[in-house]
Amino acid sequence: MSENDFERYFRSSYLFKDESKLFPEHVPAYLPFREEQIKRLIFFFRGLVEPENFVFYRAICYGPAGTGKTAVAKFFGKLIIEEAKKKGTNLRFIHINCHLERTYFMIVSKIAESLIAGIPKRGFSPKQYLAWILEYLEDENIKLLICLDEADYIIRNDPEILYDLTRSSELDSAKVRLNLLIILRDISILYNLDESVLSTLQRNLNQFNPYTYFEIKEILKERIGEAFLPNTVEEGVIDSIAMKAGVDRGGRGDARFALELIWRAGKIAEIENSRRVNIEHLRKAMSEIYPGITSEVFDTLLEEEKILLLSICRALREEKAAMVSTRSVKEYYDLICEKLKRKPKGYTQFWSYIQSLRNKNLINVSVMNEKRGRRGYISIDFPIDSLENKLLEYVKA
């Protein structure tokens, strides 16, 4: 192959308008379902924008992974800087990721570097850096809001920084210029701290709950609108991701996971030259994230379970759907049994095999309340094409 053969792949995408809008570092201009958390931050910190106000402001945001804590903090950082400017207050916002900056020294030297030109990079104690920072803020009449993100790490490894940061505001009774926004996953980690620090910090709490099915779906639609060209993602794909991620459907309520899935599915669709992202692309994306089905798992499957799994693959493929009803699977199962000249199992046994496939984590089963009663739906997170081929090695149907 020559260079020219590859050239066409650099041409603009049929699917993405701007895929970087799905990257974790991107802060979207609109954060649905987080108005309340943003509003709370405004109430906690609004005194900061007043030029003559020098009290110690602090708050804690906490909640599980992917619930928008970092996105909200960065969004809020921009917002408050703008407001301060309008009032003639020189406010700075510095976001520190404590997973990357793991020690007291790394954090204060990072802050000092981003504020003060020509600061020595090493050879001084963290307390010295902190002293320089405070001096600089005073000399330049600056107020600073430090956001310590993923602070779980620093509390676990080097909590002294929190004593010094909170105490610096108490001792320096003249003007407090240093303020703190702390972000944590696990609020209980605060109890590792000294009583005095705890009581200083604990007052303003801002909780982030895991997202529901409905919320994930709306967030996805919003972000897909920014990242993909119109009508390039099938509706069923969005729904399936929300079913996986929504906390009320057994997911973790993690928006990062949902966005990663849609991005990966988009990349897979692109590589396959497809003009739309469909459910099979999503299954492939999931199988990249979750470990695949190993041969050992196949070997533990009973004959009947393999036939049933094959029926589910067929039903999903034929119906081009993310989920199929158990009733529909039963029809495919009966057909395959007929072809294999086997007597199909009755509904009770059929259902018990479904349960055992679910217990082996090969399928997902959700039961929904519908007009005509409760109905079971089945979905699979693995690419069904390769699963079906693998099954056909065992079942000649």
Q: Do residues 61 and 31 make contact, with C-beta atoms less than 8 angstroms apart?
A: no
Q: Considering beta carbons, is residue 28 or 159 the nearer one to ligand ATP?
A: 28
Q: Considering beta carbons, is residue 258 or 308 the nearer one to ligand ATP?
A: 258
In this chain, which of 13, 19, 28, 375 binds ligand ATP, going by CB under 6 A?
28
- The owner of tokens 């600056």 is 142
Question: Alpha helix locations (H) across 279-380?
Answer: 279-289, 295-300, 303-319, 326-339, 347-359
Q: Does 283 bind ligand ATP (CB under 6 A)?
A: no
Q: Does 379 bind ligand ATP (CB under 6 A)?
A: no
Which of positions 62-101 make contact with ligand ATP (CB under 6 A)?
A: 65-71
Q: What is the arrangement of strands in the sheet containing 178-184, beginning at the earlier edge strand?
A: 91-97, 143-149, 178-184, 58-62, 205-207
Stretch that binds ligand ATP, among 13-21, 26-34, 107-115, 116-124 (CB under 6 A): 26-34
Select the binding partner of residue 350 from Mg ion, ligand ATP, none (C-beta < 5 to 8 A, by kind). none
Select the binding partner of residue 376 from ligand ATP, Mg ion, none (C-beta < 5 to 8 A, by kind). none
- Which residue sits closest to Mg ion, CB atoms considered? 70
Select the binding partner of residue 47 from Mg ion, ligand ATP, none (C-beta < 5 to 8 A, by kind). none
SS3 state at 180: strand
Q: Considering beta carbons, is residue 247 or 310 the nearer one to Mg ion?
A: 247
Tell me the DSSP string of 181-245: EEEES-GGGGGGS-HHHHHHHTTSEEE-PPPPHHHHHHHHHHHHHHHB-TT-B-HHHHHHHHHHH
In this chain, which of 16, 21, 34, 308 binds ligand ATP, going by CB under 6 A?
34
Residue partners of 284: CB distance under 8 A and separation at least 6: 265, 268, 383
Paired strand residues for 179: 145
Q: Does 185 bind ligand ATP (CB under 6 A)?
A: yes
- Return the H-helix or E-strand segment holding 170: helix 160-171
Question: What's the DSSP call for residue 372?
Answer: T
Q: Ramachandran region of residue 97, left (φ > 0), alpha (ψ -120 to 50) or beta?
A: beta
Quick one: which of 189, 184, 192, 209 has its CA closest to 58? 184
Give the total of residues touching ligand ATP (CB under 6 A).
21
Q: How far is the CB of 71 from ligand ATP (least distance, A)?
A: 3
The two three-digit tokens of residue 156, written as one number:
């676990």
Interface mask toward ligand ATP for 150-169; x: CB under 6 A: x-------------------
Quick one: which of 151, 159, 156, 145 has its CA closest to 62? 151
Q: Does 225 bind ligand ATP (CB under 6 A)?
A: no
Q: Considering beta carbons, is residue 150 or 381 the nearer one to Mg ion?
A: 150
Q: How far is the CB of 34 from ligand ATP (least distance, A)?
A: 5
In this chain, which of 15, 16, 31, 109 binds ligand ATP, going by CB under 6 A?
31
Which of positions 246-275 make contact with ligand ATP (CB under 6 A)?
A: 255-256, 259
In this chain, which of 111, 219, 245, 316 binds ligand ATP, going by CB under 6 A?
219
The two three-digit tokens of residue 89, written as one number:
């207050």
Please give the Cα distance from 75 to 78 (Å, whole number): 5
Stretch that binds ligand ATP, among 29-37, 172-180, 266-274, 358-366 (CB under 6 A): 29-37
- Which residue sits closest to ligand ATP, CB atoms considered? 68
Residues that bind Mg ion (CB under 5 A): 70
Q: Considering beta carbons, is residue 70 or 364 the nearer one to Mg ion?
A: 70
For helices 384-392 and 303-319, angle between their N-to-C axes, nearest 10 degrees:
140
Binding residues (CB under 6 A) for ligand ATP: these are 24, 28, 31-34, 65-71, 150, 185, 219, 222-223, 255-256, 259
